[in-house]
Amino acid sequence: MTSSNISELSDIYTLDVPDMDIWPKAEKILTARVSSGDIYVDWEDGRVSRFQALWLREQCPCIQCHSEITRETLFDITDLSIDVQAKICVLDADGYLIVQWDQDGHESRYHPGWLRANCYDDWARTGRETGKPTWDKDFEIPAFEAGGVLEDDDQLYDWLVALDRYGLTRLYNASTDTGTVEKVANRIGQIRPSNFGSIFEVVSRPDANSNAYLSVELPLHMDLPTRETPPGLQFLHCIVNDAEGGESLFADAFHVAKFLKQTAPEVYEIVTTVDYPFRNRALDCDYRTAGPLIRLDADGHPVESRINTFLTAPITHLPHDQLKKALEARHHLMRLVKEDRFRVQFKLRPGEIVAFDNRRALHARTEFFPNTGNRLLEGCYLDRDDLHSALNMQARRKRCEAIRKSEAT
């Protein structure tokens, strides 16, 4: 978001909600009631939302409870006991929900659009689950015009949605000037520096401190598995690529994980639970960490992979038998990753940027031959958090524009 976008949003910004977001009043509340300590809201479209009392009390948007400047919480919910109850629950003339609380007599006023956007009933939670589709060798990588992404917020939004959903996108028709990758990355947020710098050049060089800076084939991998939280995004901008070889390959680690779970559940169990150590060896730094090769969330869905065969460190924390099983499981997974069925392959053209989720879309390069031509890519990292923030801001802008449009008609 540029500062001008933000000032446009501030016209419509309201203290009626406990965040800085903008929520359309798309559905009216018909009635509100209290039952067994919970607050029920009946919507015009027939849906019902049930709010737990502590949850609703904590989200009171008034300026005693949420700072009118930061919108961060001022009120400490633990000052009340857990059996806080709504004493009165009514609608005001503007259709807002008014609740008076029993313990401190505080009165809260809730915006219906905010309540609708944040309710958590089964129907609401199901409607919000987007589920990220996984992909294999037949994947048509979503492609966007770089100029459009740089200049137009709607095209930026479409690109961010695809990047978040698939973890792999291409931008075409970018300039071949150095520094272009930074401009594109800054449409999302701040670059995340590493010991390779803020912007790194992928080029064959004699003083290489990474296999990436040799011309050898690089197997499918993620970057910086040696960090506790490896970068969430990686961008590679092709400036020159006329050497023979040097094709790019990508594979969706979440798709491989799904396949592994179906075909070898005992291996899946090991690679999702055992910590595998990684280490980067260099003259001036020594990063080490360990983690499962596939990390699952509380619902058992893969949320990140930690797959790299050239930065592995010896396992030293397991007894021999467990160590053997862990290595065999890793072997199984890494052989699977290499299978053609999972990977897309193409040659990056000058002016093309590939943007991908470093903890999901594994990347590789075939060997290239520096005596046949040049190959130079500029790259950088960002965090997933910045992608999510940029997406949220664009979604807010779109809601704001929709409200403006509806008010104008």
CB-nearest residue to Fe ion:
223
With CB under 5 A as the rule, give the number of residues binding Fe ion: 1
Query: With respect to Fe ion, which residue has the nearer C-beta, 58 or 223?
Result: 223
Q: Rounded to 5 degrees, what angle do the CA atoms 167, 170, 173 make?
A: 160
Coil vs helix vs strand at 159: helix
| Nearest distance in Å: CB 135, Fe ion | 19
| Nearest distance in Å: CB 221, Fe ion | 6
Per CB under 5 A, 378 contacts Fe ion: no
Q: What is the dihedral of CA 155, 158, 163, 164, to 10 degrees?
A: 140
Query: With respect to Fe ion, which residue has the nearer C-beta, 223 or 352?
Result: 223
Whole-number Cα distances in Å, 354 to 111, 261, 347, 361: 42, 29, 11, 11
| Nearest distance in Å: CB 187, Fe ion | 22
Q: Following DSSP, what letter does each residue of 371-403 receive, concatenated?
A: GG--EEEEEEEE-HHHHHHHHHHHHHHHHHHHH
Query: With respect to Fe ion, which residue has the nearer C-beta, 219 or 302?
Result: 219
Residue 70 corresponds to which tokens in the numbers above? 């930061």
| Nearest distance in Å: CB 218, Fe ion | 6
Query: With respect to Fe ion, which residue has the nearer C-beta, 223 or 304?
Result: 223
**Would you give the binding string for Fe ion spanning residues 201-240, x where CB under 5 A is met?**
----------------------x-----------------
Separation of alpha carbons 379 and 237, rounded Å: 6
| Nearest distance in Å: CB 223, Fe ion | 4
The total of other beta-carbon atoms located within 10 Å of residue 299's CB is: 6
Query: With respect to Fe ion, which residue has the nearer C-beta, 322 or 345?
Result: 345
Smallest CA-to-CA distance from 311 within 381, 230, 377 is with 230
Query: With respect to Fe ion, which residue has the nearer C-beta, 80 or 353?
Result: 353
| Nearest distance in Å: CB 212, Fe ion | 5
Phi, then psi, of 32 in degrees rounded to 5: -135, 145
Residue type, 62: C
**Contact residues for Fe ion, defined by CB under 5 A:** 223
